[in-house]
Structure 1
Amino acid sequence: MLKRIRTPFSELMKVDFPIIAAPMFLVSNTDIVTEASEAGGIGTFPALNYRPIEKYAEALKEIRSRTSKPIGVNIIVNKSNTRQNEDLKIALDHGVDLFITSLGNPKRVIEEAHKNGAKVLCDVTNLEHALKVQDQGADGVIAVGAGAGGHAGPISPLVLIPWLKTRLQIPIIAAGGISHGSMIAASLALGAAGVSIGTRFIASKEAQVDLAYKEAVVKSTPEDIVMTTRVSGTPAAVINTPYVQKLGTDLPWAIKVLKENKMTKKYMVPLIHLMGMKSLEKAAINPTWKTVWSAGQSVGLVDDILSVREIYQKLINEFEESSKALSKSGLE
């Protein structure tokens, strides 16, 4: 097995492999984070996975007691997250090395993280936002393309990564539709400096979600993934369970009107996010007929439930095989 994959991102973070175990709402936990970092990548988790905030501090303390390798925290930086400043401070106090920001303005996180020597990656789905965060001092962007689980971007990674590469000087991390080593090789060929993988780690032994959720990831095909605005008001990719089919994938007409109205938008958006978080929470932890399971199109290449370290080994072996096959493809 390869000992290292050297890219600008792996050099920046001082890790062996530029593979982030993505922060997944209600899925990422202390075990996944620790094992991913110990495997030579970077384990990350959303701060909001631990509530109340005391549990979040305990989780960071536990992770730090189990690994001294780089770890990361995802912070939602829009107004609906009233905890963001406290989450940032606690993470910095525990020596978090990497911050991933999403859904808002990352300016404060970038400023505070840099005081501690930590790095910041910002989720982006287009060039405009990517240029904005580069100007703010971000250390890199996570290019969330079509095929991702959760809040997927609309643009194919085949286009998004090279497009961002034409204008950015900071590393680009590919996200969306990656669950096999050949996809990592393809991402690097497109100009990415690393990858962020989520869906593959749902089907891990360490994920503390119900077995039915893991089995749904293993059994699903890319055609089983649908986009719905019912969860958070923003299009999100989920497995098309009977409950999702019954619920429908569009917001109810009245809520949609209130969300788009300038006067009521600021009240409705946080409310929709909160309602979505509650329904995801119930589904991930206590499956009932009400099942909303977030996942990306890469479910099609997830065939088994493995440990996090086994997943890393598999990805790296597949990457090496793909890279060798490419180099033997008759180039002259």
Structure 2
Amino acid sequence: MNFKKIPKLKIGNLEAKIPIIQGGMAVGISLSGLASAVANAGGIGVIGTAGIGMLEPDFSKNFNEANKRALRKVIRKAKEMTKGIIGVNIMAALSDFYDMVKIVVEEKVDLVFIGAGLPLKGLEVLVPDNLEKVKTKFVPIVSSSRAANIIFQYWKKNYKHVPDAVVVEGPLAGGHLGFKKEQINNPDYALEKILPEVISVTKPYENEFEKKISIIAAVGIYTGSDIYKYIQLGAQGVQMATRFVTTYECDASIEFKETYLKCQKDDLIIID
């Protein structure tokens, strides 16, 4: 890919110079340091929220309050470190999901990425002024065209609005996915197959709502040629996470980074 011709990533009124989203990594891996560094480089930096309050003194006794307090601190610190685009990743399955979303909206974060579940009920309570008027862009993470269609149908009916972007994760992505072990290497579930299906499902909503819905590819993307491959398949950008773990800017400890570097194939575990 010619560097001068790398397409910009547009999500609503946001525009990233580099079409790369740094995937949110929880439990202190991607906080203000990594997210701001990626944003300063022209990409989209993302803060991971699960366990974000683990360094707060009352984390073990007051889990929810510690997480909420820490999230505000990390968001504000990231904003001090960059004028670029910052996002927050929240798992819908978390017990404090709604509290986390409310804080993200109040802090006027650019984007919120929602995975480990479908962002359906409850969002109208958090953003009563209508999602379209809120600064924060909501970006669901899906692993199938069916999941994407369910989200878009629900939002259309209940919010009169649809997401500005969708992250599409294939079975090789790290994280909380909906795939079974036997589907991981099955070509019928490969990102190369899922991505065009999600693009096809969202296209009618683009026409109906007269807006561009950016599709982000996310799975085992490691090199420039990987990025080029998925952009050629119709994605507007890519999401990469593991690639950033051993960088100087990553918020993880040096011991954690060294463990990554020493990791062997036999150390990888698939959780059913």
Same fold (TM over 0.5): yes
Alignment-derived partner of residue 148 in structure 1: 173
Structure 2 residue identity aligned to 1:66: M
Kept in 1, the 8 Å contact 2:246–2:260? The answer is yes
> What SS does the aligned partner of 1:226 have?
coil
Distance 1:115 1:33, change over 3 A: same
Match of 1:72 in 2: 87
Give the Cα separation in 2 of the matches to 1:146 and 1:84.
Answer: 24
Q: Which amino acid in the other structure matches residue 40 of structure 1?
A: G
Counterpart amino acid of 2:26? F
Q: Which runs of 5+ in 2 are unaligned?
A: 54-65, 156-161, 204-212
Superposition pairs for residues 1-332 of structure 1, below 5 Å?
Answer: 2=3, 5-7=6-8, 9=10, 12-26=13-27, 27-51=29-53, 52=66, 53-78=68-93, 81-107=94-120, 108-109=122-123, 112=127, 113-135=131-153, 136=155, 137-152=162-177, 153=179, 154=184, 155-169=189-203, 170-220=213-263, 225-229=268-272
Residue-pair matches, total: 227
Amino acid at match of 2:74: A
Amino acid at match of 2:231: L
The 3 A distance-change label for structure 1 pair 103 and 10 is closer
State the distance in 2 between where 1:74 and 1:196 align: 12
How far did residue 179 of structure 1 move? Answer: 1.4
Let me know the Cα RMSD of the aligned residues: 2.4
The C-alpha deviation readout for 1:245-283, integer Å capped at 9, x for no partner, is: xxxxxxxxxxxxxxxxxxxxxxxxxxxxxxxxxxxxxxx
Give the drift of 1:36: 0.7
TM-score w.r.t. length of structure 1: 0.62
Maintained 8 Å contact 1:20/1:196: yes
TM-score calculated relative to the size of structure 2: 0.75
SS in structure 2 of the partner of residue 82 of structure 1: coil
Distance in 1 separating the partners of 2:97 and 2:269 = 30
**C-alpha separation in 2, matches of 1:11 and 1:222:** 40
Q: CA deviation at 1:221?
A: 5.8
Contact 1:106 1:133 in 2 (8 A): yes
* Offset at residue 146 of structure 1 (A): 2.2
CA distance in structure 2 between the partners assigned to 1:178 and 1:221 by the alignment: 19
Could you say if the C-alpha distance between residues 123 and 49 of structure 1 is closer, same or farther in structure 2, counting changes exceeding 3 Å? same
Partner letter of residue 69 of structure 2? E
